[in-house]
Amino acid sequence: MGMKGTTANWYIIINPAASGGKAAKVWPTIEQELSAAKVEFTTAFTTQSREATQLARKAIEQGYRHLMAVGGDGTNNEVINGILQQTTVPSVEILYCLLPVGTGNDWIKTHGIPRSRKAWLEMFLAGSESQQDIGWVEFEQEGEKQRHYFANVAGLAYDAFVVHYVEAVKTRLANKLVYLWVVLRCLWRYQLQKARILFNDQKVEDFFYTINIGICRYSGGGMQFVPHADPTDGLLALTYAGQLKKWQVILNTYRFYNGSVGAHPLVHTHQVESLTVDTVGTLLEVDGEYLGQTPAQFGIISKALRFVCPVTSNP
């Protein structure tokens, strides 16, 4: 049990653009609720993407040990990257909290973090906490080696293609039905690409429809591509799908949601400590944020994130 929410000084990073501007609208009410509960806090608003990472790093350097993000899965990923990138203190000395005001809100589903603000405030003030593993990916961008962290799910091939498409057309994914529509619409634009995956002394070469690497279970607005993911087992959940035809993808859409993707004969699930995709040019995204392309290496840091969650959370 960590510090109760009311006795700590919280550094709150708000992404006003989250959920199509909803975060900016609800923040004044949230601010009043936190003040009424006698929570001490300082606020910072992001004005561009990736800024939350810098703000989190700076806050920790300035001595803050309690960080909150107000936004969706993208803001969540950025702040967690700040916590993991900083070298001031071990990452578990930071207590993190997400106030979910996003579209997909996928990370919170694994941990049972409530979306209702009343229930969220009760959880926050109760001060119960947990820890989870964090994944990392190393890849090259314009000749520079990059390392990026993820708390939820990394996607390669089709998943990253969809994320890249959404960013390019600036589509607002209002809900999971819209996301599903985009996923199916992109099917006709996507060309399967050859890639090679190395893991557990295995080498798999194929034209992959998708490759998912999960810490937590849900992505894409409630889809379960890695239903076997456990955020505390020190392993990455790997799912990859070979040369599925478009009609097979459509017929098996229900499997995206009910946790049965691994039951399809062309879909394979594993648990791995590390993984390499050593071919060039497969698209890559983590936690719904487009990063770039392979070659890429993946690994895991056990229980690296300490965060506020409901008392009953048992991931």
**Distance between CA atoms of 213 and 122, rounded to whole angstroms?**
33
The angle at the Cα of 53, spanning 16 to 298, to the nearest 5 degrees, equals: 125
pLDDT, tens only, 267-287: 999 999 999 999 999 999 999
Q: What is the mean pLDDT of residues 88-102?
A: 96
pLDDT, tens only, 137-160: 999 888 788 999 999 999 999 989
Question: Domain-by-domain residue ranges, the chain?
Answer: 5-102, 135-303
Query: Do the domains spanning 5-102 and 135-303 agree at the CATH topology level?
Result: no
Report residue 143 as tokens.
């000749």
Q: What is the mean pLDDT of residues 39-67?
A: 96
Amino acid at 59: A
Letter string b/e over residues 100-132, b meaning 16 or more CB atoms within 10 A of that residue's CB: bbbbbbbbbbbbebeeebeebbebbeebebbbb
Q: What is the mean pLDDT of residues 231-240?
A: 98
Give the residues across from 12 on adjacent strands: 43, 68
Estimate to the nearest angstrom the gap between the alpha carbon of 70 and the chain centroid: 14
Closest CA to 210 of 264, 171, 174: 264
pTM for the complete prediction?
0.92
The angle at the Cα of 311, spanning 308 to 314, to the nearest 5 degrees, equals: 90
Q: What is the pLDDT of residue 177?
A: 63
Q: Which CATH class is domain 135-303?
A: mainly beta
Q: Provide the 3-class DSSP secondary structure of residue 72.
A: coil
Torsion sign over Cα 148, 151, 155, 156 = positive
Predicted confidence (pLDDT) at residue 163 exceeds the cutoff of 60: yes
Q: What is the pLDDT of residue 141?
A: 82
Architecture of the domain delimited by 5-102: 3-Layer(aba) Sandwich (3.40)
Residue 236 per-residue DSSP state: E
Q: What is the pLDDT of residue 312?
A: 63
296-308 and 275-277 strand pairing: antiparallel
Residue 62 per-residue DSSP state: T
